[in-house]
Structure 1
């Protein structure tokens, strides 16, 4: 019985997926915002994957630009974004300081989450 407890405890501490493996899974199945947020949160552990992280961060930035450019087409009306997607974008902007400085105020004043 003791051996079983030790085995389970060892697996729980050592069986956690590596940061690189988690990134690979997000690149395959996650959104650009979730993946870019993960990259930013784990930047120091993903230095060897900088190119992947830069690519997905650029993709997230382009999508934000696309959403905000709809505001130009709508005039005074705010842009409506699906709530879960909007929350992913807001988390990305909060975690990624440089993007947050650039977009946060514009995002909050021009987008409504529904």
Structure 2
């Protein structure tokens, strides 16, 4: 009886959890490209069939980082100021997405202030 109860509860909990695909759909509708791209990178093995969506949102995140860092050129020696919430999303993205982190992390930390 106890074993049946444990199996029942475990089955119920796993069935209630949203699939990675469903979670991605919700993030794409309601969150920034950084949150969605971070989710894609963390769950890439479960989102193989959504590679195009993940590639697109990662490209969008990269373009936004480029845009922010290009402001540095306009400001000269002054650092770029980015909203703290958005900055944290970007930093998490750079830490999770290895390729982007290698490309941008040092430049980001040297040129951006979160406020």
Deviation per CA, 1:73-106: give whole Å up to 9, x if none. Answer: 0000000000010000000000000000000000
> Could you say what the CA RMSD is over the residues aligned between the two structures, in angstroms?
1.7
* 2:91 aligned partner: 90
- The alpha-carbon deviation at position 4 of structure 1 amounts to 9.2
Output the TM-score relative to the length of structure 1.
Answer: 0.92
Distance 2:64 2:48 in 1: 24
Distance 1:103 1:6 in 2: 46
Distance 2:110 2:64 in 1: 17
Deviation per CA, 1:19-73: give whole Å up to 9, x if none. Answer: 0000000111111000000000001111110000000000000000000000000
* 2:78 aligned partner: 77
1:45 aligned counterpart, secondary structure: coil
Which structure 2 residue ranges, 5 or more long, are not aligned? Answer: none
Name which of structure 1's ranges 8-17 and 26-35 shifts more when overlaid on structure 2: 8-17
Distance 1:19 1:113 in 2: 30
- The alpha-carbon deviation at position 12 of structure 1 amounts to 2.0
* 1:17 aligned partner: 18
